[in-house]
Structure 1
Amino acid sequence: MEPLAERLRPRRLEDYIGQEHLVGEGAVLRRMIDSGRVASFILWGPPGVGKTTLAQIIAQRLETPFFTLSAVTSGVKDVREVIERAQSNRFFNSASPILFIDEIHRFSKSQQDSLLGAVEKGTVTLIGATTENPSFEVIRPLLSRCQLYVLKSLEKADLLKLLHRAVTEDVELKKRHIELRETDAILRYSGGDARKLLNILDLIVAAESGDDIVVTDKMVEERLQENPLAYDKGGEMHYDIVSAFIKSIRGSDPDAALYWMARMIEGGEDPKFIARRVVISAAEDIGLANPNALLLANAAFDAVTKIGWPEGRIPLAEAVVYLARSKKDNSAYKAINRAIELVRQTGNLPVPLHLRNAPTQLMKDLGYGDGYKYPHDYEGHYVKQQYMPDELVTDSTQGPLPNPPRKGGDA
């Protein structure tokens, strides 16, 4: 018999639970699906939120051939064979066949390179699924050819809706009388993962001999203690634990930071995933208060890569303690966010003439570089002049972003 999670896998978009920001009425992905033309995209989100299901529904909705590859077992040869099959299944003016790659972050660079031509020419519509940040795991040329959609952990209302659907609509469960008297424990253990939620429910029902079953928090806790492998401990509360880890570093509590790191280690987390978070924390939270923190974090990442596990836990722990005990400053993080927002609001403003490069005589004749003051020619290697676009200058020296005065000799 199929597992409960597979029996309840939605076949239509109308039955899909969660991700309203993507597939709800008027949402970006929903509009694309309704138009009948879907561009290549990557789904990034935690396990059990419907990435594979969504890809299958899209293929069925568009009535287009659907090919699947697993990044764990497929090589470059498999990729090329699927692309050739997809090309032979392509009919004039029809939608491109969909190639779904699960765990695309596990594809090597050469495997990802082999997809570029087919994606760019539209031979296939690529749908990739990943639990890892694509910015780190997917090569830039492939990422630039795909839209990126972020899926969220299912919310409480979504999980309750799924539970109710399971006990009332599943062909096996509806044969028995199941009362969901208490749901806090089963929701907590699921961690927003629909597959894990249904696996737990399946386990509880299978352990009961009678047809009348009352689900309580105590029952769930007892059953999971009796069978700790009933759910994926490697992904338990994944994003909550990562959040607690980062916030403990930010809050200067090295003991708590090491505890949450130990939770990730014991949960089977990829050490490089932890190391990347340490590098991000060094840049975002310690920042200019201690620039050496970023150097140490990068050194720890490098050490983890070179010496492997479990020895890599030692330099990683040193970096975590150092970051937690270091002074904090997020001014650069906040400033770049404000600068990006300003650029989005104002668009491509022209560079002031005196700041422009003038490699040719024609450019010099047009005034490029004219009036630029070379700071090293002045006392203290500093001179006041305008560096912001004309439209953003609010007074003679300042733009709309903080621009603290510099002193001679500053880096």
Structure 2
Amino acid sequence: ATTENPSFSVISPLMSRSLLLTLQPLTDDDVGLLVDRAVTDARGLNGAVTLADDARAALIRLASGDARRALTGLEAAAAVALSKGKEGAVPAATADDVAQAVDKALLRYDRQGDEHYDVISAFIKSIRGSDPDAALHYLARMIEAGEDPRFIARRLVISASEDVGLADPQALSIAVAAADAVAFIGMPEGRIPLAEATVYLATTAKSNAAYVGIDAAIADIRSGGFGRVPLHLRDAHYPGAKRLGHGRGYVYPHDGEFGILPQQYLPDELRGKRYYEPKNLGAERDISARLERIRRILDGR
């Protein structure tokens, strides 16, 4: 038995020969019954303290369905209450005692486990879905759980490139600046540039056109969809290159009126192929209109 996702720690051959049974988190009612029993049972606190309603609710909330966390928090809160209680009296553990005993929220979060990947996945998908409130929530969960802020910053840089792209070219600069700021000032102040970058990425225009384009180009390369570099684009600086026809027929774009001249750049096998298709969103709206004119000139139309 393990408290973590075995997919991250057990090798595939062993997993394929194993029966995996997943135990779901306890409900709040289940955790509440467990806490109540632990307060009164001889194997627990044996009535040494009572539990105020707000403390009980706090323990249930902080446990996040994990009985061990609830019992650990209860034991720590009881110790605080007993240290402040009067001799001969049964003290009541309060929510303040719980807060004092637990200096970090009992978040179910393991930087090597499935919750780590679940939360960062929800964080990035909230940014992609343009929900800054949800994105800040998951950012806060990672920060409070002690996640490496550099990991968060790296994911923001990736999101700026993958999900925002050229719809807002400034997004990548903001994400990189946030990463630099975190490295420079550290935590806890580093949470502020992380939050700023998170909100900016979540609320700006988005396009994955460049991301889709490079993946499509890579897919063609991997499937053998490439040819020789056209002769006029080949390197012609070394002795004998011109004799091979390298560089012959190349036209210098800056000689054109608009800095563009008709010319083939893709290999013959891919002539006319379109990898980058900008969206009509944000700054890519202007790119789309300009690219349409560029392609007409390149094609000699």
TM-score, normalised relative to structure 2 = 0.62
**CA gap 1:299/1:334 in 2 versus in 1, 3 angstroms:** same
Q: Which one of 275, 286, 301 corresponds to residue 401 of structure 1?
A: 275
Shift of 1:278: 0.5
CA contact (8 A) 2:108 2:115 kept: no
Shift of 1:400: 4.8
Gap regions ≥5 residues in structure 2: 27-40, 44-64, 74-101, 278-290, 296-301
Q: Residue 405 of structure 1 aligns to a residue in which SS? A: helix
Identical amino acids, percent of aligned pairs: 50
Matching residue of 2:71: 226
Matching residue of 2:167: 289
- Structure 1 residue 273 and structure 2 residue 151: aligned? yes
**CA gap 1:307/1:221 in 2 versus in 1, 3 angstroms:** closer
- What amino acid does structure 1 have at the position aligned with 2:242? K
Whole-angstrom distance in 2 between the partners of 1:262 and 1:365: 64
Q: Deviations over 1:295-318 (max 9, x none)?
A: 010000001011111111111111
User: Which 4+ residue blocks in structure 1 deviate beyond 6 angstroms?
Assistant: 229-232
**CA gap 1:386/1:338 in 2 versus in 1, 3 angstroms:** same
- Structure 1 residue 257 and structure 2 residue 102: aligned? no
- Structure 1 residue 299 and structure 2 residue 177: aligned? yes
**CA gap 1:316/1:221 in 2 versus in 1, 3 angstroms:** closer
Shift of 1:232: 6.5
Matching residue of 2:223: 345
CA contact (8 A) 2:143 2:149 kept: yes
**CA gap 1:373/1:269 in 2 versus in 1, 3 angstroms:** same
Matching residue of 1:316: 194
Structure exhibiting the larger radius of gyration computed from Cα positions: 2
Matching residue of 1:185: 25
Gap regions ≥5 residues in structure 1: 6-45, 59-153, 164-182, 187-206, 210-219
TM-score, normalised relative to structure 1 = 0.46
Whole-angstrom distance in 2 between the partners of 1:158 and 1:300: 44
Whole-angstrom distance in 2 between the partners of 1:234 and 1:323: 26
**CA gap 1:382/1:50 in 2 versus in 1, 3 angstroms:** closer
Whole-angstrom distance in 1 between the partners of 2:219 and 2:201: 28
CA contact (8 A) 1:380 1:407 kept: no
Matching residue of 1:159: 20
Q: Deviations over 1:168-226 (max 9, x none)?
A: xxxxxxxxxxxxxxx3227xxxxxxxxxxxxxxxxxxxx998xxxxxxxxxx6555422
Whole-angstrom distance in 2 between the partners of 1:385 and 1:208: 86
How much is the aligned-residue C-alpha RMSD, in angstroms?
A: 3.7
Q: How many residues align?
A: 216
Whole-angstrom distance in 2 between the partners of 1:292 and 1:399: 28
Q: Residue 175 of structure 2 aligns to a residue in which SS? A: helix
Whole-angstrom distance in 2 between the partners of 1:343 and 1:323: 31
Higher strand residue share: 1
Shift of 1:349: 2.4
